[in-house]
Structure 1
Amino acid sequence: MGEKKKFSMLSCILTVICVVFVAEAAAPVAAIGNSQYFWWIFMIILFLLPYGLISSEMGTTYDNGGGLYDWVSAAYGHKMGARVSWYYWINFPLWTASLAVMFPDLYTVITGKELNTIAAIIIELAFVWIVALIARTPTADAVWILNGSAAIKVILAIGVGIFGVMGIAKNGMANPIT
């Protein structure tokens, strides 16, 4: 028997939580209103669950650890594997930079204290470098980072939910559930 794979179904689910459950999605979700409950259930059943099952199956099928390049290369050849990997990684710096720019603004919203330009730039650069260093680690070895991040996001979501229920109990709902 070979070595047991480190990237389990639970790790895959927590990774999907890290990817899908992001701060910049809060405003669009709030704008949707109460219909968001239907769409979240719809997305979980028709996208997230199959995505998790496919990723888990593919990640445990290949001896070399799986991953986007390995999967596409096995199906369509090395040229397409390289192209898909390139498309993924060209998106990564743009996504990271957008989160880095959002971080100081989020800090201001949470604390009410506005950062000066130099402090904001230092925080943004630190954010980018921390993400870049973490991204260098193979997923199977960095699974604890993904799992820990997902746990923090779930705890924060539960906290926001509790405060939301407390707000509803005190002030009523902002939108009627119809």
Structure 2
Amino acid sequence: MPATHTVNGVDLERLSATISAVTAEPSLARFEFRAGNQWLDGGHSRTTIKGFYGVGQEDTTRTEAFTVEADEPLVLLGRNQAPNAGEYLLQALAACVTGTVVYHAAARGITLDGLECTVHGDVDLQGFLDLDEGVRPGFEKIRVTMTATGDFDDEQLAELASLARFSPVRDSVSRPVPVSVDMVRG
């Protein structure tokens, strides 16, 4: 098997080939991810994730669906059976920002020995409970702290910090994204 050149666990030949393919045919960059959710009881629900569309076709590489359960903590009338949706949003942000920095650092030849990400989100339940119209139902502020280890200088550390701007989830939560909700009779 031929040896591949990797940085931060990223195969640079495949990354370069992906960039070249998308540069030549921008439509290959269009993806649609999907998730289906079923309410189970109280605040408990189960999300199933399997198929997605990308690189000009429906993906068939996933033979089994991923399932993710969500619930609420006891203090929010749940049964504490899983993280709540807001906690999953923070997890998604942490995972996406981390992955984004790792991939972009690899593309720039910056080797990381370690990268940790901590995310804190502040929410005021008065918005969710419809008690104060001036309070939004979602997070008021989200703070991300990343700790990078490796042999790099201050300029490269600043560059690493700037790479978070390419995170799709960070972009989605920091700038308005149109969301439509349709309710149909089952």
- Which TM class, normalised by the smaller chain length? under 0.3
Alignment TM-score, normalising by the size of structure 1: 0.26
Alignment TM-score, normalising by the size of structure 2: 0.25
Q: Which structure has greater helix proportion? A: 1
Q: Which structure has greater strand proportion? A: 2
